[in-house]
């Protein structure tokens, strides 16, 4: 072997020896590495902050539903790749969620904080608009552009979207907190904080009875 080739061969063997311990440790390092943190819906502000937001909201009678249509709040829009807002929330709020090539949730489990139920089929889950679209329309969104209503209907930045039991969400409809609260009473404080945060963030108004119901909950948090 030529001297230059011999030197290259020796260097390669020395390099391989240096890599060998690291390669042997790689499986162990993978086992010891912390698992990625489970994502969760955005945490609403504290009760004290929510009370300050509530005090700042405009109180007025609800507007009319004239002209309202869910189509004026386009959802679910694509967030990335083939994943729309619903699939993003299902993966965010679920545990062990596995998606197929179309980003649809193929398996996993979902705990619904509204009623304390756990589900194993995505078809049993609705993505609730905490402040319903019709409620938003009556509270000021009727004057928004369609683009702004789309942003509201797909809002991942506040606690506006949450995965819950489908029939519980359907029982809520477009009700205010003075008409409907989650069946699980221990979640009322969180729900009130979420509701107020969304209305404050989006500059929506509320009616007097709605404010009274929210105040009663937040004062007991």
Q: Write down the pTM of the prediction.
A: 0.82
> Which sequence spans correspond to the domains of the chain?
1-33, 42-219
The C-alpha angle 206, 59, 193, rounded to 5 degrees, equals: 45
Q: How buried is 104 (Cβ within 10 angstroms: 0-12 exposed, 13-18 middle, 19+ buried)?
A: middle
Kindly give the confidence (pLDDT) of every residue in the chain, 221 residues in length, as a single tens digit, with 9 standing for 90 and above: 444 443 434 344 443 444 333 333 333 332 333 333 345 789 999 999 999 999 999 999 999 999 999 999 999 999 999 999 999 999 999 999 999 999 999 999 999 999 999 999 999 999 999 999 999 999 999 999 999 999 999 999 999 999 999 999 999 999 999 999 999 999 999 999 999 999 999 999 999 999 999 999 999 99
- Could you tell me whether strands 95-99 and 117-119 are parallel, antiparallel, or unpaired per DSSP bridges? unpaired
* Three-class SS of 88-134: HHHHHHCEEEEECCCCCEEEEEEEECCCCEEECCHHHEEEEECCCHH
């Amino acid at each position: 072997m030529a001297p230059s080739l011999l030197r290259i061969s020796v260097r390669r063997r020395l390099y391989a020896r240096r890599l060998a311990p690291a390669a042997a440790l790689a499986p162990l390092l993978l086992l010891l590495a912390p698992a990625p943190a489970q994502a969760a819906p955005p945490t609403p502000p504290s009760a004290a902050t929510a009370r300050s937001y509530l005090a700042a909201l405009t109180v007025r009678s609800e507007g009319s539903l004239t002209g309202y249509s869910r189509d004026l709040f386009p959802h679910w829009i694509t967030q990335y790749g083939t994943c729309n807002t619903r699939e993003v929330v299902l993966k965010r709020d679920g545990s062990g969620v596995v998606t197929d090539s179309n980003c649809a949730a193929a398996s996993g489990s979902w705990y619904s904080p509204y009623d304390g139920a756990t589900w194993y089929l995505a078809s049993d889950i609705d993505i609730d608009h905490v402040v319903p679209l019709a409620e938003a329309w009556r509270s000021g969104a009727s004057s928004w552009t369609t683009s702004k209503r789309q942003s509201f209907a797909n809002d991942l930045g506040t606690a506006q979207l949450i995965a819950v039991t489908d029939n519980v969400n359907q029982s809520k409809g477009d009700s205010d907190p003075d008409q409907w609260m989650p069946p699980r009473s221990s979640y009322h404080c969180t729900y009130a904080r979420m509701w107020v945060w969304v209305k404050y963030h989006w500059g929506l108004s509320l009616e007097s009875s709605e404010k009274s119901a929210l105040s009663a909950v937040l004062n007991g948090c």
